[in-house]
Amino acid sequence: MQLYNTLSAEERKELIAQAGQDRLTISFYAYHQIGNPSLFRDYLFIHWNQLSVLGRIYVAHEGINAQLSVPAENFRAFKEHLDSIVFLENVRLNIAIEQDNFSFLKLKVKVRHKIVADGLNDSSFDVTNKGVHLDAEKFNAILEDPNTVLVDMRNHYESEIGHFKNAITPDVDTFRDSLDLIEEDLKEHKEDKNLVMYCTGGIRCEKASAYYKHKGFKKVFQLEGGIIEYTRQVQNKGLENKFIGKNFVFDHRRAERISDDVIAHCHQCGSACDTHVNCANEACHLLFIQCPTCANAMDDCCSEECKRVHNLPYEEQKALRKGKTVSNKIFKKGRSEVLKYKN
């Protein structure tokens, strides 16, 4: 039995287009001690592949973190399968505000050391001693308290295109980078301030809230379900929306628009823009913000050098890439000396 993808992304995209069926983009997570992540990984792949689930799922001893899409007609069967797994029964599913049938084009279920790279030693504190969960209405209310400090637990390229009003948005590359930075900045307010955190879907805040309570913060809160669930509740209940701009998401859509505000700028010309793209030069693939005018002028590339390489014959491009590794450790998202207007 094959427990891996047998189709390329382009082949899968063609099949989805031919099928003409709506798909739902969903995310969820659960912290739970999993004895054999590899076995659990294979179990999920077998069942979800049969339901035409596509996505990026991380499994670790500490739990599961999933971003995926499923045909709408298979959603009930998918939900029944989740409910058959004890620790996933009635797990909160964050369903995307903006649906896209092509949000994921492969099913990737990977075993990882952590479901979020937090760099923490979980044995050093009680990860179950979490902060208070807030729904959208309670979240809006606590933001009116002058003793509240609101912190964005996401990375710089995420908060750059959208964030809550008056939020602290650390200029960091990773979740782990933000933990100590925030503690240092707020060390004088561990007793008196409401530390309120938010992220995309809630998973980062789940761990961070326990960590900050361990570090001595007395009043720790988190937005339940993150920005995705907040937006859904705001729309369904007619609440005031305090989020401005776009919510960055980790699939082919790259973002969901939450408000009409455009708070970011093209990294190449400085004009108002909040559209993330990847450099068309496959040897670079840098994630950055590019407006349509610059995209046309630069052939979807981040620099003149990448434009030159991108326009070479494919075999020459392939030869230039040979032996080189492209990773976030080398090409950090949204950070490059060639991006003149990156803040």
pLDDT in tens, 280-338: 998 888 999 999 999 999 999 999 999 999 999 989 988 888 776 655 444 467 788 89
Look at residue 190 and give its three-state secondary structure: coil
Strands 243-248 and 162-164: antiparallel
The predicted model gives 6-34 an average pLDDT of 89
Cβ-proximal residues to 207 (8 Å cutoff; 6+ apart), any chain: 31, 116, 118, 120, 127
Structural domains of the chain, ranges and CATH numbers in brackets: 9-111 (3.30.70.100), 135-225 (3.40.250.10)
Is residue 155 over pLDDT 60? Answer: yes
Of the chain, the percentage scoring pLDDT greater than 70 comes to 96
pLDDT by residue (tens digit) across 183-233? Answer: 999 999 999 999 999 999 999 999 999 999 999 999 999 999 999 999 999
Structure tokens at 107: 């099913």
Mean pLDDT of 3-18: 81
pLDDT at 325: 63
Instruction: Give the dihedral of Cα atoms 132, 134, 138, 143; nearest 10 deg.
Output: 80
Residue 137 has pLDDT above 90, yes or no: yes
Does the predicted model carry a pTM greater than 0.85? yes
At 23 the pLDDT is 96
Position 318 scores a pLDDT of 86
What ranges make up the beta strands (E) of 219-320?
Answer: 220-223, 243-248, 255-257, 276-278, 287-289
Burial class (CB in 10 A: 0-12, 13-18, 19+), 110: exposed
Query: What H or E segment, with its residue span, contains residue 286?
Result: none
User: Which residues are annotated as catalytic?
Assistant: 199
Q: How confident is the model at residue 16 (pLDDT cuts 50, 70, 90)?
A: confident
Tens digit of each residue's pLDDT (9 = 90 or more) over 56-113: 999 999 999 999 999 999 999 999 999 999 999 999 999 998 888 999 999 999 999 9
pLDDT of residue 243: 98
The per-residue pLDDT for 10 is 85
